[in-house]
Each structure stands twice: as structure tokens, then as C-alpha cells.
Amino acid sequence: MTLVAAFRLHDTPALIGDFLLSWDDGSVAGLRKKVCIINQNLAVAWTGSLRYAEIALRYLKDNAHVELSKANLENILANIPEPEDTSIQLSIIGWLVTDKPRAFRWSCKIPHKINFSEPQYQGTGRLECQRVLGEKGPIVKRLSRILCNWRIYTFTRSSPNTINN
């Protein structure tokens, strides 16, 4: 199961991501952090091709030297080099923190369109996450049912914080 999600945790922007890499048949291929703080107002998580994620994240980091606006982010994401193999999948979700925090989703399949809305879920575990978050009870207890040993990143303009389960 793959899951990255951007949602509010006690009214604070939160970004989570699993760490398992898998082959097409579902077998374990390795471990990798899928959450990345790009700069002082942008944090992202990814799902899809590891090789293309590395290219896209490097491009983001190289072009996000200053605090980004919504228009700057849209321009940078639209100009990420397209993969040579058209079967490659990559989705990036995250938080852009400007005058107000904004969750977003971008896909290499539609590179010029960014969906700014919240919450954002991506990956094969997205429906399970939506189901669990929709249940009654404290959110941290609900999250612990599906996020065993995951990292939850809360992101504010002043500083990123890490909460380890």
C-alpha cells in the first residue's frame, strides 16, 4: 500500500507519507522517505516512479530558492521536465504556506493543472485513509490505525516540526 496525504491536524497543515517502495507485483523493493521540505513555505510528498520523483524534487529544489507564491509554484510544477517514458506515473501533493496554507496535488499526466483543495490523498491507500479519517474519535487515534511507524510532519511558516509515532 502507498499513501501520501495532506490534511489538517488540529487546524495545522499536516503531510504524511509511507516509506515502502514496491515492484509492480507488490513485492518489497526497498525503503525511501517520500516527504520532503523544499523550502521555508513548501513541503511535498510523492507517489509513483522513484527515478522520476528524484528528477522532479531536484527541479523543485533548484527552482524554489525564495518563498514561493501560488503563481510561482504553478509555473515551476508546469515546467518540470516530462518523463521520456509516457507510462511513468508521478503525483506530488503538499502544502504551500503563503498568506494561508494551501494543500495541492500535481500529476505528471496533467502537468499544467494543479488542484488546490484539501484534504489531498494519493496512492493505493487513499480510500482507506479517507475512510479512517471519516470515523468518529480523536484524529491521532484514528491515524494510528493505518500509520504505524510513519512520520507525521506538521508545517508552519516559522518552522517545520516532526512528530514520531
Task: Indicate if the pLDDT at residue 130 is higher than 50.
Answer: yes
Q: SS3 for 34?
A: coil
In angstroms, the Cα distances linking 9 to 33, 64, 115, 117 are 21, 26, 20, 15
The pLDDT score that the predictor gives to residue 21 is: 87
Per DSSP, what are the bridge partners of residue 21? Answer: 30
Q: In the chain, what are the domain boundaries?
A: 4-164
Residue 144 has pLDDT above 70, yes or no: no
- Split at pLDDT 50, 70, 90, the class of 154 is very low
Cell representation of residue 131: 475512510
Which triple of cell numbers denotes residue 116? 488546490
Task: For residue range 33-48, list pLDDT tens digits in order.
Answer: 999 999 999 999 999 9
pTM for the structure as a whole: 0.79
Its CATH class, for the domain covering 4-164, is: alpha beta
